[in-house]
Structure 1
């Protein structure tokens, strides 16, 4: 077998074993100012400079655990993980399906997907006619018919937790959408669940919010793996997106369980990988609809270089563009931001043209198109989005990147396999040994779907 250590990631075909300062800063989660301090102290040493951009030799950076993990990654091994049996799942807050696609690719069978937004539901049904999409408000939906499902997953929206964490009890989060997630876990009693959210949840309310969530999970009879923030750039996603992952295992199964977070890929994907033919996609991105800038905004953005933002404009244009914000503190690096080919995209938002979160094409003077948005989130090219352009941007921007979902999905399949290897499959598990059984279950789910739609608020 070829040694994993012999595999190194490259920034381009001509820069084997080299990495630029921007990528190094992203990988080790520091600023470029910190890199300069490290250079002065001798901790790191630039190998060469190309067009004013410093390069570093990967093999001289293996003291950094993030880079060492990439050079010694077990990604190739994890790619071969397959489920030892069919694992049934429910997905909550399914959106446009980013998480669902990745989990499906890993080996989960979605028995039901719950989503409130009509356009997102149409997106799911259009692309997967066999998926049981329950279009309803989760607050009014009864999930008891799904008791015994193997797995529950969902990215509960990062709704305000302003009053959570005071008493560290189940009542503290009642009314938030995490409560609905917890209720579904209580009603269905899955072996394992996955919750995902923004990384800021860890620090919210001085840590009291996550403490409340942990307390609720314990009260439900589940053991929580210590939450971890996964950086999408490590998992074949050309985007600086970070998501907090919560994995819970039912207490009676913990003694059988073995879990490891996914290993990073051996290279960092950049915007060029998303929009041009290469490792991620066979063809260049196709043309698609997209938002446009007002004339004056387009004129200003023409002057922003690739990878630049408002501070790269002449001072008088900085003042014109930023207006009152010009005198305020903070970098505001998302404003008048043009992306660069050889760097991952900034985190996508619900709109690439809003003043606070511009995501301008690296060469053309326009916002990223819908299809470009989808590729940066690693959706398949044949995944079609329903609704208006604004709705499509929103669906894509709110999604979990497909490749990130696939990576965590493989780790979860390995977790289920470890449990399955040590216990007998009990009759209480939902099993579909015949197509008739699956049909009856689907008919019951469709009856539930019609009922909750009639009563949804």
Structure 2
């Protein structure tokens, strides 16, 4: 399996495509992407109409009906955020855990060479997640994989947002011998003002340059809200306070970018400040400007807030691709592989 040979993947809980887009940049071509959210599927179709989209509940997904998913190089999943043991027994929290279990079942059925599971950082190391973490570890080891786990922050990989993600990577032998986690590049992450200035200035807002100079920060974590609760805002009050300090109303999202008639004054009422659009929040997640998000504000922002930033997904994906390729070529394993 050299770098000239295409790598194939199947992705479950694909959402707005952040994980799939990053993996595509890392060299993986998806044979199928599975999700139940019609707006997320509309987002994927709008941007990659050639991708094979499957609208089906993961708990009912049977790979026998999709033979192209068998024996792929990678099975990837960004399942909905699991809850800690303190809340796991709440009735409305059980589906998240069942989806993780369904993902593990598919690993055994599809038999990929590598697995990438993404979820909350606490799932990797915190005691309150020990039960479900042990379930993941035991099942993957039982299936013949060697497991690697880490928490990586998107801000260390070129995303202007403080956003930690928990990752489980599992590979069969001999591929596992060659896997190492990505090393953050030396370049500092861009600031919010750097990333959003072109859009802020696009409609002639006279304060765009002054705002961008003020916005020399890495953004707080964007929270899109779950399917059952949450609305179109930029997160809890502490996050909104950070946004207000750089002149953004974090309590809502805007329908359009600020224009020539819009003012801007720090220290005034939050409601007098411009708000970000869904497209701008996607930029802060590391999506390219051309990536279209389907749906109105709440549904669109929910997709953005739940996504894996593509640059972070690409960094992890490149390490998986490198391990698969190195094993096939018989390269010397790195000393740091563990």
How does the TM-score come out when normalised to structure 2?
0.75
Residues 367, 164 of structure 1: alpha-carbon distance in 2 compared, 3 angstrom cutoff: closer
Partner of 1:177: 99
Match of 2:215 in 1: 341
Q: Give 1:241-320 correspondences, 5 Å limit.
A: 241-250=163-172, 252-254=173-175, 257-266=177-186, 267-277=188-198, 286=202
Larger Rg: 1
Aligned residues: 278
**1:86 Cα deviation (Å)?**
0.2
Counterpart in the other structure of 2:51: 131
Q: 2:86 and 2:328 mapped to 1: Cα distance?
A: 40
Q: Which residue pairs with 2:298 in the alignment?
A: 390
Partner Cα separation in structure 2 for residue 221 and residue 196 of structure 1: 20
Deviation of the 1:402 alpha carbon: 1.2
For structure 1, list consecutive stretches of 5 or more residues without a partner in the other structure. Answer: 1-81, 166-171, 278-282, 288-305, 307-339, 424-457
Q: Normalising to structure 1: TM-score of the pair?
A: 0.56
Structure 2 residue corresponding to 1:210, chosen from 133, 139, 147:
133
Alignment of structure 1 residues 88-237 onto 2, 5 Å: 88-144=8-64, 145=67, 146-160=69-83, 162=85, 176-201=98-123, 202-205=125-128, 207-225=130-148, 227-237=149-159
Q: Deviations over 1:240-293 (max 9, x none)?
A: 00001111012x4347x301211112212211222125xxxxx76756xxxxxx
The Cα of 1:141 is off from its aligned counterpart by: 0.9
Query: 1:371 and 1:115, CA in 2 relative to 1: closer, same or farther beyond 3 A?
Result: same
| Contact 2:122–2:129, Cα closer than 8 Å, also in 1 | no
Name the counterpart of 1:240: 162
2:178 match: secondary structure: coil
Shift of 1:353: 5.2
Report SS of the residue matched to 2:174: helix
- Post-superposition Cα deviations, 1:100-141, rounded to whole Å, max 9, x if no partner, equal 111111111111100111000000011111000101111111
Whole-Å Cα distance in 2 between the matches of residues 260 and 272 of structure 1? 33
Displacement after TM superposition at 1:159 (Å): 2.7
Q: Secondary structure at the match of 1:176?
A: helix
Please give the per-residue CA displacement for 1:350-370, whole angstroms capped at 9, x wherever unaligned. 132565453746335143221
CA RMSD of aligned residues (A): 2.8
Asked whether 1:363 is paired with 2:247, we answer yes
Rounded to whole Å, the distance in 1 between the matches of 2:201 and 2:293 is 16
Q: State the Cα distance separating 1:174 from its structure 2 match.
A: 11
Change beyond 3 A, Cα 1:211–1:391: same
Runs (5+) with no aligned partner, structure 2: 89-93, 204-210, 225-231, 249-272, 332-338
Q: Would the alpha carbon gap of residues 405 and 354 (structure 1) be closer, same or farther in structure 2, given more than 3 Å must change? A: closer
